[in-house]
A and B are shown apart, each in its own frame.
Chain A
Amino acid sequence: MWIVEYRELIRILTISDLKVKYQSSVLGFVWSLLNPLLMMLVLYLVFNNVFKNNQEHFALYILIGIVSWRFLANATSSSMMAIVGKSSLVTKIYIPRQILVLSSVLSSFISSLLEFLVLIVLLLAFGVNISLNILFFPLIHIVYFMMVYGISLALAALYVYYRDLNQIWEVLLQLGFFISPVCYSISTVPEKYIFYYMLNPVTLVMQIYRKTLLYAESPSAVSLVYILLSACVLLILGAVIFKRLERRFAEEL
């Protein structure tokens, strides 16, 4: 199995990716935490004042949305470049190419964990009642990781052939940001659309984060099964697309 055989390479690549991310600006690490907080402030001001809202703990509600959305957005847009950006490891030597995508997603995953850590500290500071439901968090985050990794595999492979995919993906992410409940309450979604709205697995992931971290509730079994199934589907789909397209990587780069 390549994950075991190349664990050292995965570790080294992940760490060097993190180093690059945080050293490229002086306040690198601080910024990566400040960014979601400032974003929360903006969205809170807009959505709390301009639109009507009766969601409890609305600022923290938004923050959880942003932090969980950031993992998807950051991981997919940076790992899309994983193959093209490290082309010499594809054209001059053989390593299982998934490693490049995996280590990129892993580095975003670690960043995301740090952001969630700060989030939990904030929850405590705002006097939110943290219950044992917080134990669901690692499980949900791993399922979410599988989804994101699946999407990233497909994107990284497609980007080798279609170099304007990043532009298209940027627009799609923008769309995804608004069709997922990042900055508004689900109760504002019109009744007739709610069925389709809830098919989006990211919506469910966000709602489970909020339930377990903010409102001290357990997630429903149905939602857990649904996100697990979607994660498996995305992962398999991503792996199949990657496998297909991988063959001509060395020629296209």
Chain B
Amino acid sequence: MLESLARVVGKPNGELNSHAIVVENVSKTFRIPKERKITVYEHLIGLFGRGAQSYEVFNALQDVSFSVKHGETFGVIGPNGCGKSTLLKVLAGVLYPDSGRVKMGGKIAPFLELGVGFQPELSARDNVYLYGAIMGLTRKDVDQRYDEIMDFSELKRFENMKLRNFSSGMYVRLAFATAIQTNPDIMLVDEVLSVGDESFQRKCGAKIDEIRRAGKTILLVSHSLGTVKQLCSRCLLMNHGQMVALGETEDVLAEYERMRAASG
């Protein structure tokens, strides 16, 4: 029973009164099979083979603990392959931690990738309803917000066009405009701010700023240190799946500089 509590999502209570995200000693390892067995046949054959372990273990996250207060904008930085994205996926509930606990105090909107589940053969309008449903909105919710979504994405004229005729910029605008309407308490953002043309980027930035000021919690994973410096009050620096530094953004960024200088 304890195991099933590894990820708790819910209304603020107890520990979650002051914290939107609590991560306690989370570890995640991936098994990298030396030879990939994906059939019953291969598994049966494997039983009669050598008893040696047939996979290598890759520690993507090792004993990561931190917490984010309600209304805080929190950054996660680090070099490629440091575990940032794995961490984000664990927080979003896509991956399950091997050990440790994750507690989320509110409704989450994961912006891991925009436009997940979009169907090219459906019209823009149908896709808004589909994507809204994927993000947990009811039909009525989308009905109410439909005009706002179309205004924000500036795609009103194209609402009946099939999505496969959209440019990638239009695609992302539609996705962002819909996703932002889910009215989340906690936003998990993975580099998606760098989408669309410059004016739309500014618009997204302004929208995120608006959400931030409305007291929502944002966890931002980014390569752009400028963005992090501008938006985040606190940061976590990771490397090789481990926490390197946690604290005020300026201190953590300075630490990151030192780390990069040291590793050449």
Give the contact stretch, choosing among A46-54, A143-151, A156-164, A187-195: A156-164
CB pair A8 B117 closer than 8 Å: no
CB pair A93 B92 closer than 8 Å: yes
- Select one of B30, B31, B40 contacting A165, CB under 8 A: B40
- Select one of B43, B89, B108 contacting A250, CB under 8 A: B89
Cα separation A6 to B41 with both chains bound (whole Å): 37
Give the contact stretch, choosing among B63-71, B127-135, B145-153: B127-135
CB pair B117 A162 closer than 8 Å: no
B18 located at the interface, meaning its Cβ lies under 8 Å from any Cβ of chain A in the complex:
no
- Select one of A5, A7, A9, A94 contacting B93, CB under 8 A: A94
- Select one of B40, B96, B117, B138 contacting A93, CB under 8 A: B117
List, in ascending order, chain B residues with CB within 8 A of A168's CB: 40
A91 located at the interface, meaning its Cβ lies under 8 Å from any Cβ of chain B in the complex:
yes
CB pair A12 B133 closer than 8 Å: yes
Q: Which residue of chain A is the closest to B41 with respect to CB atoms?
A: A164
Q: Which residue of chain A is the closest to B92 with respect to CB atoms?
A: A94
B224 located at the interface, meaning its Cβ lies under 8 Å from any Cβ of chain A in the complex:
no
B95 located at the interface, meaning its Cβ lies under 8 Å from any Cβ of chain A in the complex:
yes
B119 located at the interface, meaning its Cβ lies under 8 Å from any Cβ of chain A in the complex:
yes
A244 shortest CB reach to chain B, Å: 10
A110 located at the interface, meaning its Cβ lies under 8 Å from any Cβ of chain B in the complex:
no
Q: How many residues on B have C-beta within 8 angstroms of the other chain's C-beta atoms?
A: 31
Q: A88-B117, A165-B40 are in contact. Are A250 and B94 (CB under 8 A)?
A: yes
B263 located at the interface, meaning its Cβ lies under 8 Å from any Cβ of chain A in the complex:
no
Number of A-B contacts (CB under 8 A): 68
Q: Which of B179-230 contact A (CB under 8 A)?
A: none
Q: Which of B60-118 contact A (CB under 8 A)?
A: 89, 92-96, 108, 110, 112-113, 116-117
Q: A16-B119, A93-B92, A248-B96 are in contact. Are A5 and B136 (CB under 8 A)?
A: yes
CB pair A162 B139 closer than 8 Å: no
Q: Indicate the size class of the contact surface on chain A.
A: 20 to 34
List, in ascending order, chain A residues with CB within 8 A of B108's CB: 94
B39 located at the interface, meaning its Cβ lies under 8 Å from any Cβ of chain A in the complex:
yes
A3 located at the interface, meaning its Cβ lies under 8 Å from any Cβ of chain B in the complex:
no
- Select one of A12, A92, A164, A248 contacting B40, CB under 8 A: A164
A38 located at the interface, meaning its Cβ lies under 8 Å from any Cβ of chain B in the complex:
no
Cα separation A163 to B110 with both chains bound (whole Å): 29
List, in ascending order, chain B residues with CB within 8 A of A8's CB: 129, 132-133, 137-139, 142
List, in ascending order, chain B residues with CB within 8 A of A246's CB: 96
CB pair A162 B136 closer than 8 Å: no
List, in ascending order, chain B residues with CB within 8 A of A89's CB: 116-117, 134
List, in ascending order, chain B residues with CB within 8 A of A6's CB: 133, 136
Q: Which residue of chain B is the closest to A6 with respect to CB atoms?
A: B136
CB pair A163 B39 closer than 8 Å: yes
Complex A-B: 13 CB contacts under 8 Å:
A8-B138, A8-B142, A9-B133, A12-B129, A86-B117, A92-B94, A92-B112, A93-B135, A94-B92, A94-B93, A95-B134, A162-B39, A250-B89
Seed contacts A89-B117, A95-B136; 14 additional CB < 8 Å A-B pairs: A6-B136, A8-B132, A8-B133, A9-B134, A9-B136, A16-B119, A88-B117, A89-B134, A92-B113, A92-B116, A93-B92, A94-B110, A165-B40, A250-B89
